[in-house]
Chain A
Amino acid sequence: MPAQRTQFTMPMRILHWLMAAMVLAMLGIGFAMVSSISRYHALMSIHRPLGIAVLLVAGIRLIVRLLSPLPPFPPSVPPRERVVATASEYLMYTLLFAMPLIGWSMLSAARYPVTLFGAFRLPYIMPENPMLYWWLRKSHTVLAYLFFFTFLAHFTAILFHTLVKRDRLLRRMLPWKA
């Protein structure tokens, strides 16, 4: 019987930490942007291209995830928690695609040019429609909060396993061999 895998594959681990940094930056920039007068434009100029970068990396990550063998849950994770963990993983994958797509769609519906850098811009993916923009813009905020709280639950759960249960669950995702 082959030894069971104890870690996610290296590409999955790299993508996990890369996306963690990108998503936290996007949430922070987004929260700061909507409440800022003086830094609004500077933050917006990062938020737009970084959001499209999240969409690209999410696409790569989904493909890698579907092709990679997964380490099994250790016995310290009870069955009901496994269901919650898997559901939150699916939710986060959904948000990784939904947030940038909604952002791109709402700019399209409002006819704000989707400029990424220099003269390079993306096409509009929605018809011009202010009410559609309004709904997408509100969804963008609601889902940003959902993303933040899902992240917080994920962060709390892994801290609980690492600091309280001390079951080394974190090593499955550590970037180095553990």
Chain B
Amino acid sequence: MPIDTKSTIDSGSPPPARRQTLAGLALLGVLVAAVVCTFAYVGGWFTPGKLTPKKFVDVFQAVDGEHAGFRRNHAKGLCVSGHFDSSGNGAAISRAAVFQPGRSEVVGRFSLGGGLPFQADTPTQVRGLGLQLTSTSGQVWRTAMINLPVFPVSTPQAFYERLQAGIPDAKTGKPDPAKMTAFNASHPESVAAVKIIKMNPPSAGFGDSTFHGLNAFVFSDSQGKSTPVRWVLEPVRSASTTALAIASATRPDDPNYLFDALIDAIHTHPLQWHLMLIVGQEGDPTNDASKPWPPSRQRIDAGMLTLDAVQSEDTSPTYQLNFDPLVLPDGIAPSDDPILSARSAVYSNSFTRRSGEHKPPSALTPASVNPK
């Protein structure tokens, strides 16, 4: 029977309309899957080994524990305020309003490195100074500086690995020295940077510390000409600042001796720093904050920073600011230093975490900040 034969032949495959439907559904599936995979790819789902801001902040927490409400690094601090009087000299290389002759309002925060908000002050712990300069036109410039002359690492990856080497061992409660030895063996650039850091011992206190911006930035003048720049705050050392700092250093029973000396000094007279712009030349490394620039580079005295008031973090709105080093005015731009984008990303992640938490009172309470 011919009809039966035909139906037998065709019975294995669907009729044309159904085949079209199946082909359409298959194509639909492929296209939808392609879109989902593209977004999963850009979101990093296929590269779980990649360094992310979250992993970075997690490793800070692994080193010093999680302290709700506090910064994940530079957790112990004190807020200050004052002003910056521009000399106008900086306007030669940057069109930023802050370098025009005149005054910018300043708020800032002195801090100690590490994630422990109640650690006892020690002379060798890294000292930080975060600043926000607001020009009369409302332009905002934030910078976070430390008292080290160079950064101990060159790249975010190396920074992450160095932090990992400092995670306390679960059994001993202390970092395994073998891990830091292994890190140093594979990072000679870090060993070289630490050698430079050790050649520059810290000053007596916060008030007579030099603070370094470390990373290079690109300044642009009004014609659009760009110049690589690093900056540094050089203290105006007065006899009384130094005396107060030295006197406080002899109070080893005071766990806040560095901060208490700072409070005493500001209540005695304003603390001042010169903002020095260091002009880079062709060949100076802009992408590596672990390498110093030659000391012969031109230095422009851009003006005087004056800090004349001090507040506890518990009462100062400055505490809430994220001193993201990439909050920059027009006329200052990031360089090719990979640490800059990493700092911005990691600060932001840390900021978001603490902004949703309740902060207990800081080590430096409003009572400890009052004149004695």
Interface residues of A (CB under 8 A from B): 27-28, 31-32, 34-42, 44, 110-113, 118-119, 121, 128, 130-131, 133-135, 137-138, 148, 152, 155-156, 159-160, 163-164, 166
- Quick one: which of A111, A118, A152, A166 has the most chain B CB within 10 A? A111
B156 within 8 A of A: yes
Interface size on B, as a range, is 35 or more
Report how far A35 CA is from B342 CA in the complex, Å. Answer: 11
Report how far A36 CA is from B39 CA in the complex, Å. Answer: 14
- Check if A37 sits within 8 Å of B139, measured CB to CB: no
Interface residues of B (CB under 8 A from A): 20-21, 24-25, 27-28, 31-32, 35-36, 38-39, 42-44, 50-54, 56, 97, 137-140, 156, 317, 320-322, 324, 326-327, 329-330, 334, 338, 340-342, 344-346, 348, 351-352, 354-356
Chain B residues, CB < 8 A from A138: 356
- Check if B39 sits within 8 Å of A39, measured CB to CB: no
Report how far A148 CA is from B24 CA in the complex, Å. Answer: 23
Chain A residues, CB < 8 A from B20: 166
- Quick one: which of A27, A110, A160 has the most chain B CB within 10 A? A110
Report how far A8 CA is from B355 CA in the complex, Å. Answer: 46
CB distance from A134 to the nearest CB of B (A): 4
- Check if B351 sits within 8 Å of A37, measured CB to CB: no
Chain A residues, CB < 8 A from B138: 121
4 smallest CB-CB distances across A and B, nearest first, come from A134-B356, A163-B24, A130-B355, A40-B345
CB distance from B108 to the nearest CB of A (A): 14
CB distance from B310 to the nearest CB of A (A): 20
Supposing A37-B51, A41-B326, A119-B330 touch, asked if A164 and B355 sit within 8 A by C-beta, the answer is no
Q: Which residue of B lies closest to A31 (CB)?
A: B43
Give 18 A-B pairs besides A28-B38, A137-B352 with Cβ atoms closer than 8 angstroms: A31-B42, A35-B43, A35-B50, A35-B53, A35-B54, A37-B51, A37-B52, A37-B341, A40-B53, A40-B348, A111-B321, A112-B324, A119-B97, A134-B355, A155-B31, A159-B32, A163-B24, A164-B24
- Check if B342 sits within 8 Å of A159, measured CB to CB: no
CB distance from B15 to the nearest CB of A (A): 15
**Which residue of A44, A119, A152 is within 8 Å of B139 (Cβ)?**
A119
Q: Which residue of B lies closest to A164 (CB)?
A: B24
Report how far A156 CA is from B28 CA in the complex, Å. Answer: 7
Supposing A110-B355, A130-B320, A160-B28 touch, asked if A38 and B39 sit within 8 A by C-beta, the answer is no
- Check if A37 sits within 8 Å of B352, measured CB to CB: no
Supposing A28-B42, A40-B344, A111-B321 touch, asked if A155 and B35 sit within 8 A by C-beta, the answer is yes
